[in-house]
Amino acid sequence: MHTAKGFITEPFWVRYLLILAALAFLTLFLLLPLAAVFAEALGRGWEAYLAALHEPDTLSAIRLTLLTAAICVPANLFFGIVAAWAIAKFSFRGKSLLITLIDLPFSVSPVVSGLIYVLIFGLQGWLGPWLQAHDIRIIFAVPGIVLATIFVTFPFVARELIPLMQSQGRDEEEAALTLGASGLQTFFRVTFPNIKWGLLYGVILCNARAMGEFGAVSVVSGHVRGSTNTIPLQVEILYNEYNYAAAFAVASLLALLALVTLAVKGLAELKIRQTLSINEGER
């Protein structure tokens, strides 16, 4: 006769084998490359590392990346909240179509996303001649990079908020309305405190992707040094020039960003679980 415990627990060697396999896999494919990035970057010493980052083209790439993120993240933050609010709190025709559309950037290859903009705004594109006549540059310039990045990072905030807002239902907002709160008061005093951690999570993912996007940006940027290169493109150029130390030094910035993102994500997930468990308790 087995005990109840015997039925649900595997023998210890199976457990350890599984844990070891998972750890080995993680080490080989995730930890080792990450360590390699930092090892290569700092291989020639701290001075060389800082010098590589101080190179004017690299500084310009960092500036452009920060600028892109500074435009894309607030734009998608606003859009994400609006879309999630509409989807989670109201029922309307075409709702499932909207959800599908929000997911589109996830399912399209980034290169294709970039090409779409070349097709629309490029010299041979639909709006190309008109844009050229008015001396507006979008492709191979900053606006193109921003547009492509917004497209690629579109879903992150909305995707994070929709399930969270749906699970919280409409009761609290309705209660606020019956108590005389306006729409804005309801959002800032009732809805926002409930979604703030999910929002942070979405924003941090959106930011990481906005800074790290390669494919779509590569198509529309034109790789003009010191002008239309973002950090990922700069890494590629340095790497192709056999300037490994510099390439890895710049890459280490993105790796650092990834680590910060992970830390914030962990915190946000913990907080979301806490809010939801309170929610459970209330039902």
φ, ψ of residue 282 in degrees (nearest 5): -80, -20
178 part of the interface to another protein, by CB under 8 A? yes
**Segment contacting another protein by CB under 8 A, of 145-153, 156-164, 177-185, 241-249:** 177-185
Find the DSSP H helices in 29-170.
32-41, 45-54, 56-89, 95-107, 110-121, 128-133, 142-153, 155-168
Shorter beta-carbon distance to another protein: residue 96 or 124: 96
- DSSP-assigned letter for residue 91: -
Shorter beta-carbon distance to another protein: residue 66 or 267: 267
- Closest approach of another protein to the CB of residue 103, in Å: 25
Tokens of 18: 């599984």
Between CA 131 and CA 122 the distance in angstroms is 9
Give 142's contacts (C-beta < 8 A, 6+ positions apart): 64, 67, 68, 228
Q: Are 197 and 189 in contact (CB under 8 A)?
A: no
**Segment contacting another protein by CB under 8 A, of 183-191, 197-205, 221-229, 249-257:** 183-191
Q: Which residue has the tokens 């930092």?
A: 38
Q: Which residue has the tokens 């492509």?
A: 148
Q: Which helix (H) or strand (E) holds 231?
A: helix 231-240
Greatest alpha-carbon span in the chain: 86
Shorter beta-carbon distance to another protein: residue 42 or 177: 177
Shorter beta-carbon distance to another protein: residue 186 or 221: 186
- Which of 190, 208, 220, 245 touches another protein (CB under 8 A)? 190
Nearest to 152 by CA among 201, 95, 107: 107
Total of chain residues touching another protein, rule CB under 8 A: 22
- Which of 27, 109, 166, 182 touches another protein (CB under 8 A)? 182
By three-state DSSP, how is residue 10 classified? coil
- Closest approach of another protein to the CB of residue 99, in Å: 19
Shorter beta-carbon distance to another protein: residue 191 or 218: 191
Residues 193-232 as x/- pattern, contact with another protein by CB under 8 A = xx--------------------------------------
- Closest approach of another protein to the CB of residue 161, in Å: 16
- Which of 15, 54, 95, 189 touches another protein (CB under 8 A)? 189
Q: Which residues ranging from 145 to 174 are in contact with another protein (CB under 8 A)? A: 171-172, 174
Q: Which residues bind another protein (CB under 8 A)?
A: 171-172, 174-182, 185, 189-190, 193-194, 275, 278-279, 281-283
